[in-house]
Amino acid sequence: MNKYIKLAIPFIVGIVVYLVGLVGIDFSQTASINSEPQLTQGIWIYLSIFVGVIVGLILEPVPPALVGLIGIGIAVFFKVGPAKSGDPTAVISSGGAINWGLSGFSNSTVWLIFAAFAIGLGYQQSGLGKRLALALVQKLGKSTLGLGYAIALTDGILAPFIPSNTARSGGVIYPIVSSIPPMFDSYPDKNPRKIGSYVMWVSLAITCVTSSMFLTGLAPNLLAVSTASEAGIAEISWLNWFIAFLPAGILLFVLTPLLCYIIYPPEAKGSPEVVTWAKEEYAKIGAMTIKEKFMIAISVFALVFWILSSVDAVKGSIIEINGTTTAVFVIIFMLAAKIISWNDFLSNKPAWNVLTWFATLVALAGGLKNVGFLGWLSFILKENLENLSPMAAILGLILAFYLLHYFFASTTAHVTALLVLFIVMAQAIEGINVYLVTVLMMLSLGIMGIITPYGTGPSPVYFGSGYIKSADFWRLGTIFGLIFLVVFLVIEVPWVLYVVGDMITPAAAAIP
């Protein structure tokens, strides 16, 4: 599709949505019904802008961060988005509008995402990420299946500290993995199934699992927590997220390399050459440097305080440090230890890009509540969903939220477009714990990335490697997507709802 056409479509869609409302809705009549939430022209203007932004995020005619910035700019121009801006009697100043538009940049979760990208840079700059990968390949690479587990363990170790699975899997793991197949005369156009196809698929599949295992394993996880907070859902802590996904996470982490080996078997079953190669490469990088040692110490510090910030016993005490504060200290320590330089920090384009991107999306998502759209939508949905049984409604919401990812080339766009809407639908159903249902939907964000060649950040990297044919990629995505979904529904849903629900529910969470 021509890029100018892709650029025009979001604007056209936004205008069409607005005109449909202008023609089909009598705003004066809806505003006069005081006993029901009101649908006003201000709400409809904001909805039109929001829908245009979502279409822009799906098509990506320009970088997603710019799409969000454009959406904020248009909303600020029309003075819709701040609290009560959907009320026709409210007077919104230009200063109030721009303060709302920039509010996402003061969101602590957005800065945690930004800081975590800088931490990922530290793993790359220090060489610790590469060392961990090569060390595990040495130990487990004697068989092809062992190599699959080496890849899994590498990703699992890095996942709590590198929230961009693109940086983690595509930036750290892929360069190592892509060096292995040629040693076995396995190339995209020659013997791909010998070993290349297997290591590429297991790399992608396992990063989808680890992306759900840790709150900091996938950047959109953090965005989802912040977006849900804007919709009135209490934030889940790092530790509670880990506990919530623990049974499914352990099972999928252990089984995924084996399932890949069975469902998409490599022709080469043993790989002693890989061990030799890994030892040679490991020898080249030499002894552990002082930067790597500092990076290990800093990582332990981050993990300890991220966990402590979730423990009730230390809350309010002197040792309690907010998760974002911890991440800021990590950056300071990396700069002090010269793991990264100030120029490295300033030139980290992915981090600054994601800061702008997520800050605008958080503000836009919050605007849906501010203008009154969520209140109106909740009332409409409640009338249509109140006859469903609680469990049927929960399963239906999770299934729909998961399967709709087929239409999104970005987990971030998926969160922005659907999470608040599904939270509102959950709130409209009597007898369910909206907080726990929201947690379940957020926990599925990582594993749903497996279903398409564009479902998560690293997918295009492994798809573009050429080792996995397009038909195989779609077939495997369907198979593993179904496996992940079944495990999630059979294990995660009862675990979260009936076993650890009370444990992971903060006091601030409203229980309907």
How buried is 147 (Cβ within 10 angstroms: 0-12 exposed, 13-18 middle, 19+ buried)? Answer: buried
Is the pLDDT at 72 greater than 90? The verdict is yes
pLDDT level of residue 278 (50, 70, 90 thresholds) = confident
Compute and round to an integer the Cα radius of gyration of the chain: 24
Count other Cβ atoms within 10 Å, centred on residue 87. Answer: 16
DSSP 3-state percent helix, strand, coil across the chain (nearest 5): 75, 0, 25
The answer to whether the CB of 85 falls within 8 A of the CB of 370 is yes
Output the pTM of the full model.
0.73
d(CA 344, CA 118): 9
For the stretch 159-196, pLDDT in tens is 888 777 877 887 678 867 887 788 778 888 899 999 88
Q: What is the per-residue burial (b if ≥16 Cβ within 10 Å, else e) of 161-186?
A: bbbbbbbbbbbbbbebbbebbeebeb
pLDDT given for residue 404 in this prediction:
86
Give the contacts of 118 (CB within 8 A, at least 6 positions apart).
330, 331, 334, 340, 345, 348, 351
Is the pLDDT at 39 greater than 90? The verdict is no
pLDDT given for residue 165 in this prediction:
82
pLDDT given for residue 245 in this prediction:
97
Q: Where are the domains of the chain?
A: 1-101, 108-229+237-346
Query: Which tops the pLDDT comparison, 496 or 387?
Result: 496
Query: Which tops the pLDDT comparison, 38 or 340?
Result: 340
The total number of residues shown for the chain amounts to 512
Is the pLDDT at 510 greater than 70? The verdict is no
